Amino acid sequence: MKVIAVLGSPRTKGISAKVTNRILDGAVDAGHEVLVYEIDRIKVQGCCGCGYCKRKNSDCCIRDDLKGYWRNLHKAGALIVSAPNYFSQVCGPMLTFMNRHYCLTNKDHTSRLQNDVKLVGVFSQGMPKPYEAAEKNYRWYLECLSAQSMQIIDSLTCSAGMPPEEMQALLDKAYEIGKNL
Ligand SMILES: Cc1cc2nc3c(=O)[nH]c(=O)nc-3n(C[C@H](O)[C@H](O)[C@H](O)COP(=O)(O)O)c2cc1C
């Protein structure tokens, strides 16, 4: 199946990319096709609230780099979203990216996503331990996407400040998630 990963950090060698890439290693070893978008290197406009998607029951009409993403998402079996924590929230570009999924809901509130998409979140932060304010926002973020008929499979919180053994356990878990998608 097709697995899409969206790397949300501008630091493509950062911790969220490292953990996400480990999920992708597992997915490749399980025989899946992997497609990676780096949010900082593609053009993603904000939702302009034009209502075209609701009037036409259509994917978003904005002509930017998400055009190809919608096509791929309709054929995908899994979506991995990763993002660094900025001020206890998912970073701005990944919020903009998530907002655009509004187009996947029809006028009658049904989702236009016909395929089952498994959803995994990878969130990185400076704080070495998960903390509630941020965890709440990570959950909210995944729930907004899962409202489009995506099924939340797992969510990983990582930090460069984690003790090495905890980081290794997280990377091992990430690989297993990918392998079992
Ligand atoms: C603008 C900004 C705001 C940040 N705010 C927080 C924060 O509120 N809590 C936190 O734990 N870390 C915070 N950090 C640290 C980042 O979350 C951390 O460096 C990041 O997760 C590293 O991820 P990456 O290596 O994938 O880029 C902030 C960093 C930046 C640049």
Each residue's pLDDT tens digit, 43-80: 999 999 999 999 999 999 999 999 999 999 999 999 99
Q: Please state the domain count of the chain.
A: 1
Average of per-residue pLDDT values in the chain: 97
Residue range(s) defining the domain that contains residue 68: 2-179
The contacts of residue 19 (CB under 8 Å, 6+ apart) are 82, 122, 124, 156, 158, 170, 171, 174
The predicted structure's pLDDT at residue 14? 97
- Which residue has the least CA distance to atom 17 on ligand 1? 125
CA–centroid distance, 159 to ligand 1, in Å, is 9
Does the C-beta of 16 come closer than 6 Å to ligand 1?
A: yes
| The residue type at 104 | L
The predicted structure's pLDDT at residue 154? 98
Q: The domain spanning residue 98 has which CATH number?
A: 3.40.50.360
Nearest to 8 by CA among 110, 128, 102, 124: 124
What does the pLDDT average to over 113-129?
96
CA–centroid distance, 131 to ligand 1, in Å, is 13
Nearest to 141 by CA among 85, 70, 63, 180: 85
Is the pLDDT reported for residue 120 higher than 90?
Answer: yes
Read off the pLDDT band of 180 (50, 70, 90).
very high
Q: What is the 3-state secondary structure (H, E, C) of 53-94?
A: HHHHCCCCCCCCCHHHHHHHHCCEEEEEEEEEEECCEECHHH
Looking from the CA of residue 159, the nearest atom of ligand 1 is 21
Q: Could you tell me the two tokens for 52?
A: 């075209």
* Block residue for tokens 């791929």: 72
- Which residue has the least CA distance to atom 28 on ligand 1? 86
What does the pLDDT average to over 3-27?
97
The predicted structure's pLDDT at residue 149? 85
Does the C-beta of 127 come closer than 6 Å to ligand 1?
A: yes
Backbone angles phi, psi at 76, to 5 degrees: -85, 155
